[in-house]
Amino acid sequence: MQRRSESLTCAFICLWLAAIVITLALFHIFDWMHELVRTGLLLLIAALAWGYRRELRQLAPITRPPERWTRSVVRMARTGAAINTAIGLVVVLVGFRSASVPSDQAQSVIEALGLLRHGINPWASTTILDHVAYPLAVDELDAIPECQAASGDALPPTNAEHQILSGRSNATAALPHLRALPECARLRHLFSALGFKYGPVMLLFYWPFVTLLGPAGFPIAHLLLFAACCLLVARWAGRGHDPFKTATALIPLVWSTQLTWNALIQGHLDLLPVFLACCCLVLCEQRQFGTAAVCLGVSIGAKLLPGLLFVPLLLKAPRRFLAVAALTVLAAFGPVAIWDWSGLWHNFAYPFLRGPDSTALAFLLGPQARLAASAGSLLVAGWLAVRAHVRRWDLTGSLNWLMGAHLLTLGSGSTFHNNYLVWLLPILSAWVINGKGSVAPARMPAAVATESSAPERRPGVRYP
């Protein structure tokens, strides 16, 4: 009877994982112009996460998973890892044979490194590296032609050398002259935010790969990051030497179409900050707060999100570790900020300046409705943070916060591209590791454990 109950629990976990993988795959089918469906899929993930904990509490605990279930999920995890590795190797071969990369994000890294070699700041307000944002800014300028300045009222002209070095020397790629009028302030911000959108750590990481291997360096770096993420999850889940738990924790990573398509094939740049942020989560659970703070600071130094969502995890540590994370971020951004603070600020504020696109619910909402949605998201996030703080940011409280904060960020933002879902994958793996939401008892010092485990001795009684 016990074995049958455990088989039922294993079947539920596998069905839940299948539902998660299918839901994630639907985001590729319902992409642009499906704002409501994508928001509904986010709500479905939230419902699945809540239902997993609720149903698992009512099912029999797994003391020893049935062998057939263990073999099946281990085979599934290995197959998913092998498929991703094979796809990554094919992309590497394509990279060696071609002179280009499929992702505009990867291309911006190549161009930014080229600018640095010529001593030009890729974050400067006079640099064009974001060739997706540029035509959007031009469209807004066309809608307000009175902002196009005459020569006497213009802002300082742009140095054309920036466009030549970034490979965009054609005349249409020059920054326009804009009038210094209040109604043109948004346009001036948009045209000042066309530089590199990621942190210095991102360039530092990819620099040796691009320098030595060219375009093939991106898929090689992403294969290494994929292996590192899998190893991190496997080591964390495998603390109890349970292959069933380890394999089920790996399935959201190795069977997700987001990681395969967006990271390995398209070459989007989310794996590095995600891996470092998840190192922070694991290290916080092991109470290695110093290393966790450094990992979190380096993650934010590569890309602001998802690292900023992990900052509250350090609230359970002594306050000096928050200072360590802040100093790490300052060390990453400080030299660039000194070089050109205005350009750095405009580039990182760009997500708040641009209009919504049709991947996000905000595309359907007016300005006031978007503001109300953002306020509602902040209230829910605050409620999750308070609950986690009451639990002293244990694993269950931390994961509740991370799951809610990620879903709220994705659902309430002005853009919601599929590569952002890579941020969610390790959280889903951790959700499996955490199981019913229970927390392993804290490890006691040896002296305390010895003292507490000794039998009580009564006065006046002789003991052998």
Secondary structure of 243-267 in HEC code, one letter for each residue: HHHHHHHHHHHHCCHHHHHHHHHCC
Taking residues 366-371, report their average pLDDT. 92
Distance of CA 458 to the CA centre of its chain: 58
Please determine, for residue 307, whether its predicted confidence score (pLDDT) is greater than 50.
Answer: yes
Confidence of residue 5 (pLDDT cuts 50, 70, 90): confident
Higher-confidence residue: 138 or 201?
201
> Of the ranges 29-38, 182-191, 200-209, which one carries the lowest mean pLDDT score?
182-191
Percentage of the chain lying above the pLDDT 70 cut:
88
Total number of residues shown for the chain:
464
Q: How far apart are CA 131 and CA 292, in angstroms?
A: 35
Token reading at 197: 């959108």
Please determine, for residue 245, whether its predicted confidence score (pLDDT) is greater than 50.
Answer: yes
Confidence of residue 240 (pLDDT cuts 50, 70, 90): low
Amino acid residing at 396: T
Backbone angles phi, psi at 154, to 5 degrees: -80, 160
CB 255 within 8 A of CB 21: yes
> Of the ranges 162-171, 274-283, 315-324, 378-387, which one carries the lowest mean pLDDT score?
162-171
Confidence of residue 3 (pLDDT cuts 50, 70, 90): low
> What was the pLDDT predicted at 2?
62
What are the domain boundaries of the chain? 2-99+198-435, 104-191
Please determine, for residue 410, whether its predicted confidence score (pLDDT) is greater than 50.
Answer: yes
Please determine, for residue 290, whether its predicted confidence score (pLDDT) is greater than 50.
Answer: yes
Token reading at 111: 């161009």
> What was the pLDDT predicted at 452?
36
Of 323, 211, 242, 243, which is closest to residue 77 (Cα–Cα)? 243
- Helices 320-339 and 200-213: crossing angle in degrees, nearest 10, is 70
- Give the burial class of 243: count Cβ atoms within 10 A of its Cβ; 0-12 exposed, 13-18 middle, 19 or more buried: middle
Q: Distances from the Cα of 195 to the Cαs of 137, 225, 351, 415, in angstroms?
A: 13, 26, 13, 18
Q: How far apart are CA 270 and CA 459, in angstroms?
A: 65
Percentage of the chain lying above the pLDDT 90 cut:
67
> What was the pLDDT predicted at 38?
97
Token reading at 296: 């979190």
DSSP assignment string, 97-108 = H-S--S-HHHHH
* DSSP 3-state of 221: helix
The vertex-280 CA angle with 274 and 285, nearest 5°, equals 130
Amino acid residing at 430: A
Please determine, for residue 171, whether its predicted confidence score (pLDDT) is greater than 60.
Answer: no
Using the structure block, give the residue that is written with the tokens 């900050």: 273
> What was the pLDDT predicted at 103?
87
* DSSP 3-state of 454: coil
Distance of CA 116 to the CA centre of its chain: 26
* DSSP 3-state of 464: coil
The vertex-329 CA angle with 327 and 333, nearest 5°, equals 115
Q: How far apart are CA 384 and CA 252, in angstroms?
A: 24
Taking residues 393-416, report their average pLDDT. 95
Which own/partner contact pairs does 36-39 have at CB distance under 8 Å and 24+ positions apart?
36/361, 36/364, 38/359, 38/360, 38/361, 38/416, 39/361, 39/411
Q: Which tens digits make up the pLDDT trace of 326-357?
A: 999 999 999 999 998 888 888 888 888 788 99
Token reading at 131: 């060739």
Confidence of residue 209 (pLDDT cuts 50, 70, 90): very high
Q: Distances from the Cα of 42 to the Cαs of 27, 49, 73, 127, 315, in angstroms?
A: 9, 11, 26, 36, 27
Evaluate the omega torsion of the peptide bond into residue 459 and state whether it is cis, within 30 degrees of 0: no
Q: Which tens digits make up the pLDDT trace of 82-134?
A: 999 999 999 999 999 887 888 889 999 999 999 999 999 999 988 888 888 88
DSSP assignment string, 174-205 = SPPPBB--GGGHHHHHHHT--S--S-HHHHHH
Report the chain's terminal Cα–Cα distance, integer Å.
Answer: 44
Confidence of residue 464 (pLDDT cuts 50, 70, 90): very low
Please determine, for residue 437, whether its predicted confidence score (pLDDT) is greater than 70.
Answer: no
Token reading at 342: 């205005």
Rounded mean pLDDT of the chain? 86
Token reading at 273: 């900050």
List Cβ neighbours of 211 (8 Å cut-off, separation of 6 or more).
113, 217
The upper half-sphere exposure of residue 108, i.e. CA atoms within 13 Å in the direction of its Cβ, equals 24
Helices (H) and strands (E) counted in the chain, each on its own, are 20, 0
> What was the pLDDT predicted at 252?
96
Q: Distances from the Cα of 379 to the Cαs of 34, 405, 444, in angstroms?
A: 26, 11, 37
Higher-confidence residue: 428 or 3?
428
